[in-house]
Amino acid sequence: MTIKLFLTTLVCTLFVISLFIGPAHLPISDSLVAIFSDQGMLTLIMYEIRLPRALLAALIGAGLGLSGAAMQCYLRNPLAEPGIIGISSTAALGAIIALQTGFAASFAFALPLSALLAAAIGVFIVLRLSGPTASSLTLILAGVAVSAFSGALLTLVLNLSPNPFAVYEVIFWMMGSVADRSMQDFWLILPFLALGAFLLLKSKNALDALTLGEDAAHSLGINMHNLRLVIIFGTACIVGASTAIAGAIGFVGLVVPHILRPLVKAQPSQLLPISALGGAALLLSADIFIRVVFPTKDLKLGVITALLGAPLFLHLIVKLRKGQAS
């Protein structure tokens, strides 16, 4: 409970800080007044620029942290991450095809809807490939296959692009960001993220049972077929919607559960909610960091999370070698 309380306080604090940071350099008192009363341009900045940015960072961070924890617990692998089932790659491919074909500019939600549609196709292919009674390994292989194929198609689209500026646009989009998003974007992905979070949190006790392996979990009353569908569908909702709005933000789903696991003595049912809070805190912090340290550089969120994620592997190698030595 203490960890949950601490992380909740941290997320709330970071959310408020995020609201008060931006290139407009508004005094905190003016920003506060602008939230609660109509102050013209100031209120517009708060509601159309800063609030969606903070809300999306918190929501997408929470979703990625939660789905990462669920995927690690389901696959019983601390190196699993939400993208392992190939959904982020297919969502990215959908978005990039929309950008390259110009469909993204045809109406407001064309880009995120293309990504969501592609994510749904990705889920369908992964489920078809892995079969009705897939083991964890088959699921990972199906995810890797879909991911690799989407990656190949993505490079093909870039390769064939006649316009170098469009390629730049795609590359920047792929780096991941929550800047310049609107409240409409937030409302668009909220139902997907809420449904995904509901499904994953509903499975937390089943994930506890899965600690003992699939046979033992089955003997404890867990329907493994249903659990697999719920985890894949829940993760796909979160990852597909997040990628659709913010691009590919890696490592959050890998790093957050990994760091928080020892704090809950590795119990999956406790790891899931705190990973959601941890993910929100991480993405809010990263987004604040970008705006405070590099206010003029338009540094992308995915770059910062990748820079944070890479040292984790070094830490794992050191830990593994220490374990082997002892």
Partner 1 sequence: MILEVHNLSIHRQKSMLLSDISFSVSTGELVGIIGPNGVGKTTLMRSILGLVEHSGQCNISQLPTKERAKIAAWMPQEREIAWPISVEKLVALGTMPHRQYFGKAPHKPDQKVTQALKDLHLLPLKDRPATQLSGGEKARVLLARALAQDTPLLLADEPIAGLDPAQQISTMRLFATLAQKGKAIVLSLHDLSLAARYCTRLIVLGEGKMVSIGAPSDVLTEQNLKNVFQVRAWQKHTSEGHIFQPMEVI
The site for partner 1 (CB under 8 A) is made up of: 73, 76, 202, 205, 208-213, 215-216, 218-223, 261, 265-269
Nearer to partner 1, 176 or 257 (CB): 257
Nearest distance from C-beta of residue 282 to partner 1, angstroms? 22
Q: Is residue 199 within 8 Å of residue 234, measured between CB atoms?
A: yes
Nearer to partner 1, 19 or 210 (CB): 210
Nearer to partner 1, 216 or 318 (CB): 216
Nearest distance from C-beta of residue 267 to partner 1, angstroms? 5
Q: How far apart are CA 68 and CA 121, in angstroms?
A: 21
Nearer to partner 1, 60 or 210 (CB): 210
Helix (H) or strand (E) holding 307: helix 301-325
Q: Give the residue ranges of DSSP H helices in 40-163.
A: 41-45, 51-75, 87-101, 110-130, 136-159
Nearest distance from C-beta of residue 157 to partner 1, angstroms? 39
Nearest distance from C-beta of residue 103 to partner 1, angstroms? 42
Nearer to partner 1, 218 or 291 (CB): 218
Q: How far apart are CA 127 and CA 133, in angstroms?
A: 10
Two structure tokens written together for 88: 């982020």
Across 19-38, b (16+ Cβ under 10 Å) vs e yields: bbbbeeebeeeebebbeeee
Q: How far apart are CA 248 and CA 303, in angstroms?
A: 10
Nearest distance from C-beta of residue 28 to partner 1, angstroms? 40
Nearer to partner 1, 7 or 227 (CB): 227
Sequential DSSP letters for 186-237:
HHHHHHHHHHHHHHHHHTHHHHHHGGG-HHHHHHTT--HHHHHHHHHHHHHH
Two structure tokens written together for 282: 């991480």
**Residues contacting residue 154 through CB under 8 Å, at least 6 positions apart:** 89, 92, 93, 96
Nearer to partner 1, 9 or 226 (CB): 226
Identify the CA nearest to 279 among candidates 10, 46, 2, 5.
10
Nearest distance from C-beta of residue 211 to partner 1, angstroms? 5
Nearer to partner 1, 105 or 220 (CB): 220
Two structure tokens written together for 82: 């939400």
Nearer to partner 1, 110 or 266 (CB): 266
Nearest distance from C-beta of residue 104 to partner 1, angstroms? 41
Nearest distance from C-beta of residue 75 to partner 1, angstroms? 9
Nearest distance from C-beta of residue 319 to partner 1, angstroms? 13
Sequential DSSP letters for 262-295:
GGGTT-HHHHHHHHHHHHHHHHHHHHHHHHHH-T
